[in-house]
Structure 1
Amino acid sequence: MKITTWNCAGALRKKFDFLETLESDIYIIQECEEPHKSNNPNYKDWAKNHLWIGDTKNKGLGIFAKPEIQLEKLDWSNVFQDHTVKHFLPCRVNESFQLLGVWTHRNNSPNFGYIGQFWKYLQTNMTNFEEIIVGGDFNSNVIWDQWDRWWNHSDVVKTLEEKGIKSLYHQHFQESQGRETKPTFFHRKNSQTSYHIDYLFASSKFHQNLQLIEVSESEEWLKISDHFPLTAIFKF
């Protein structure tokens, strides 16, 4: 099975043919429009097997799969201490494993934006994290940790690792968090301001069955988004 996460930077209806070149079974896509409300029939047809959440029909988080793959949306809480976090999309794939799509957001929070949103989501749902792949745009890296904050990127990684959930990229390439050699995001599409902020975390089962993980490093991708796709291939 091949799974790709990518922030398409909007207008997926004009870009999904680029994804088809990857030939993935499942795509976790950030900043995409809701297929049901799109006026593009080709996009609707391509997205006929999907789950989607978002604040507006023009920009949200979607999981798209090949027609033969079963996606069952899971009812996990997105509320922590009366605060609703976003965006998180949990589902079960083929009644076999859990998949959580992530697009962390500032969410008008003065203290818990981006990785803080995911930290809160973990506090509410950590008991659900079994046989799981977590993928998406986290808008976060250990280089932005703050000394007086208890929900830094490092804290989130540690919490996941305590459940046996680790970054596929970092385990495969034997690179430390914050010392990634392959960036996934280019601020204003500038190679001088590039960072690794897109991740695929997974339970140990998936590490054992990992065949390949790669960042699609190409100028062609930067023409249509400020993110590169991150893809993993598993043998089940």
Structure 2
Amino acid sequence: MKIITWNCNMAYRNKAQFILAFQPDIVVVQECESPERLKFADDLPEPTDMIWHGENPHKGVGVFAYNGYKLKIHRSHNPDLKTIIPIKVTGGDRDFLLFAVWANNPQEKKFQYVGQIWKAVHHYERLLKRNPSIWAGDFNSNAIWDKPKREGNHTHLVKFLADRKIHSVYHQHYKQQHGLEAHPTYFLYRHQDKPYHMDYCFASMHFESEHVEVGTYEDWRNHSDHKPLIVRFKYMWRHCRHFYY
């Protein structure tokens, strides 16, 4: 199973071909226009399912499934957590929960970015305890921006998830420490000398990644200020006999 997350910097309809060239099963796209504005080129494969969520029709979160995968927003979805969408994924070898993430809530200053995810992992904690899950998206966060006295910074989030055996596949694959990443996923104002790592894919112990790739500045600078994070998983499903939704 291959999952890609990418903040497309709007107008995904004109950029989808660059992502679909990687033949993903699921694509999580931040700053994606609403379905009413999406019209893909005729030579591109149609998704087997899609979900879009957001308040601005030009910039929301789009999730696209291919190769028979199906998507359904989980009944426990809390729309006040912007924009983090729990999705039940079916149609593959096993069902699992995908949390599509674009952490961005300008109205809640104290919890504007990573704070939204911090609140979300607590809100959905019961689901995390008993279900295979993947968190993929633009977290707008990195350990370098930690405010030590503020509850729910990036390091607190990483530890909370790790205590539940949910880890960043990029950091495991490349043996990186949070805050010291060698592969940036974002270039401020598209300037190569302003690199940051702020897009992630966290997966529970039920999954094992076999390939992790971050797009390069040269390949993606004309399309977005973010680079795609591409993950190919094996199906392991260790210690998981039942699913609770």
Same fold (TM over 0.5): yes
Cα displacement string for residues 180-230 of structure 1 (whole angstroms, at most 9, x for unaligned residues) = 0000000000111110000000011213xx111110214131101001100
Q: Distance in 2 between matches of 1:69 and 1:25?
A: 7
Letter in 1 for 2:30: Q
1:130-169 paired onto structure 2 within 5 Å? 130-169=131-170
Q: Distance in 2 between matches of 1:56 and 1:220?
A: 28
1:1-236 paired onto structure 2 within 5 Å? 1-35=1-35, 37-38=36-37, 40=39, 42=41, 46-47=46-47, 49-78=49-78, 84-94=80-90, 96-129=95-128, 130-207=131-208, 210-236=209-235
Q: Distance in 1 between matches of 2:118 and 2:57?
A: 26
Paired residue secondary structure (2:41): helix
Cα displacement string for residues 43-64 of structure 1 (whole angstroms, at most 9, x for unaligned residues) = 8973562011010221100110
Number of positions where the alignment pairs a residue of Structure 1 with one of Structure 2? 229
Q: Post-superposition shift, 1:153?
A: 0.4
TM-score relative to the length of structure 1: 0.91
Q: Distance in 2 between matches of 1:92 and 1:41?
A: 25
- Is the contact between residue 13 and residue 40 of structure 2 (CA under 8 Å) also seen in structure 1? no
Paired residue secondary structure (1:111): helix
Q: Distance in 1 between matches of 2:196 and 2:12?
A: 22
Q: Post-superposition shift, 1:67?
A: 4.9
Letter in 2 for 1:231: I
How well do the aligned residues superpose, as a CA RMSD in angstroms?
Answer: 1.8
TM-score relative to the length of structure 2: 0.88
Q: Post-superposition shift, 1:9?
A: 0.4
- Is the contact between residue 187 and residue 193 of structure 1 (CA under 8 Å) also seen in structure 2? yes
Q: Distance in 1 between matches of 2:139 and 2:87?
A: 18
Q: Structure 1: which 5+ residue stretches go unaligned?
A: none
Paired residue secondary structure (2:159): helix
In percent, how many aligned pairs have the same letter? 38
Letter in 1 for 2:61: L
- Is the contact between residue 14 and residue 40 of structure 2 (CA under 8 Å) also seen in structure 1? no
